[in-house]
Amino acid sequence: MTSKASPDVLVLGAGPGGLAIAAALSEENLKVEVLSANDRRDPWPYTYGIWGEEVDDLGLDHLLEHRWCNTVSYFGDGSIEPKDIANQATKHGRDYGLFDKKKLQQHWLKQCDNAHVLWHRGCASSISIEQKTSTITTTEGQKIKARLIIDATGYEPIFIKSEKSRPVAVQTCYGIVGRFNLPPVEEGQFVLMDYRCDHLSLKERKEPPTFLYAMDMGDGRFFLEETSLGLAPPLTLETLKSRLNQRLNHRGLEITSLEYEELGLFLPMNKQIPYLNQPVLGFGGSAAMVHPASGYLVGGLLRRAPITAKAIAKAMHNKEANSLQISSAGWAALWPAELRRKQALYQFGLEKLMRFEEQQLRDFFTSFFSLPNSQWYGFLTNTLSVRELVKAMVTMFINAPWNVRWGLMQMEGRELSLLWEFLKPIR
């Protein structure tokens, strides 16, 4: 589409966001190059979870390393006989999976390689936007021109501009993989949220709540992660580590071998949607695509990359289109009004949860997971329409106990402005 020397699109970053959009653009027969600070084949640092039905719908279940059908949460306080605990579980009745990270990476790399994507190693440091092309200069002085630049450099993007008025709510977690003297969860089980708090003193229960995310990895190995929902300021790693140890001690659990320790991961949950009228497009963490309620991104990348790539390819058919016009077409496809309205609602919900105390949170989640299965699933995967999402939220409000309703009704901080954003999506 452009001269032989310069590509249609230069993607910055080779994390899940960068690879997903580079692969989708390749499928549109665009000439794509990728510049990344790391090697594209470097192993990714996190574990990527996803609901089974999401990968089934995409025909990608072969990319999972683990899949559980015994999926539960605990929202009681835990003050019951251990033998009765199974009766206290909220059964989700849905499969949950963990991606095989290497396979997921290979899936996108293969699509890129089939389309002869060109790879560059280096750190983008400055950009110059001309009428029909943009030029990236790396810290080493290399210059790369393209019709469109996509910044997929993660949560602190290098070129994407957003309003920076909100304190960022950050989800933090401390995780371990290891073997234990007793199974910390049932054999073959996945625990989405264990909010039992009987291991905490009354004083500790007044502090920001944390929950356990846990799974049987097979062969006597378990993954346990003490997690705090989005909070500003975030909980420290030390607090999470000590909470996990308290939890284990209380249940008579000892680590007999520690295979892996995830040292303090931080995930911003309520990033603002960037300005949609800028000449550089974002994708992945840089474009605020992480789900504010769950912190998940990969399902959204897989669903939204082909739509965004199609819009870019269409805009590029017009040879006269400039960077701003092409980028704006990409932003409009990535963040249509419907998704922006839903994002405002999700962020409104997150604001509420950040204020909830431990008992309120446990009651909130009990009500949330009492919604019909398709409603809570659609909420967590961002696959409901605005109408369906509002219906789910209203149903939950009606069915919730008074302490949750009261918390939901109080309007504090940015909540009113988020509701206004829902009614009249900006940017």
Ligand X SMILES: Cc1cc2nc3c(=O)[nH]c(=O)nc-3n(C[C@H](O)[C@H](O)[C@H](O)COP(=O)(O)OP(=O)(O)OC[C@H]3O[C@@H](n4cnc5c(N)ncnc54)[C@H](O)[C@@H]3O)c2cc1C
Among positions 46, 132, 242, 399, the unique one binding ligand X when judged by CB under 6 A: 46
Nearest to ligand X of 17, 234 (CB atom): 17
Report the residue from 7, 13, 230, 407 that binds ligand X according to the rule CB under 6 A.
Answer: 13
Task: Tell whether residue 123 is a contact of ligand X (CB under 6 A).
Answer: yes
Query: Of 237 and 411, which has the nearer Cβ to ligand X?
Result: 237
For strand 96-99 and strand 170-180, is the pairing parallel, antiparallel, or unpaired? unpaired
Residue 302: CB atoms within 10 A of its CB come to 23
> Which residue's CB is nearer to ligand X, number 2 or number 36?
36
Q: What is the CA radius of gyration of the chain?
A: 22
Q: How far is the CB of 203 from ligand X (least distance, A)?
A: 28
Contact present, 384 and 375 (Cβ < 8 Å): yes
Of 11, 24, 30, 48, the residue at the interface with ligand X (CB under 6 A) is 48
Rounded-to-integer distance, Cα 226 and Cα 223, Å: 10
**253 neighbors 266 (Cβ within 8 angstroms):** no
Pairing of strands 9-12, 148-151: parallel
Give the nearest distance from C-beta 189 to ligand X in angstroms.
17
18 binds ligand X (CB under 6 A): yes
In angstroms, what is the minimal distance from the CB of 14 to ligand X? 4
Classify each residue of 181-211 as buried b or exposed e, where b means 16 or more C-beta atoms within 10 Å of its C-beta. eeebbeeebbbbbbbbbebbeeebeeebbbb
**Contacting ligand X (CB under 6 A), which of 10, 109, 173, 361?**
173
Number of residues that bind ligand X (CB under 6 A): 32
- Per CB under 6 A, contacts with ligand X among 249-308 are 265, 267, 284-286, 290, 295-298
Q: How far is the CB of 415 from ligand X (least distance, A)?
A: 25
d(CA 120, CA 40): 9
CA–CA dist 147, 215 (Å, integer): 45
Please tell me whether residue 97 binds ligand X under the rule CB under 6 A.
no
Nearer to ligand X, 225 or 421 (CB): 225
Please list the alpha-helical segments (H only) found in 37-100.
52-57
Residue 38 in the binding site for ligand X (CB under 6 A): yes
350 lies in the site for ligand X, by CB under 6 A: no
Rounded Cα–Cα distance for residues 73 and 195 (Å): 8
- Is residue 152 at the binding interface for ligand X, with CB under 6 A as the rule? yes
Q: Which residues bind ligand X (CB under 6 A)?
A: 12-18, 35-38, 46-49, 123-124, 152-154, 158, 173, 265, 267, 284-286, 290, 295-298
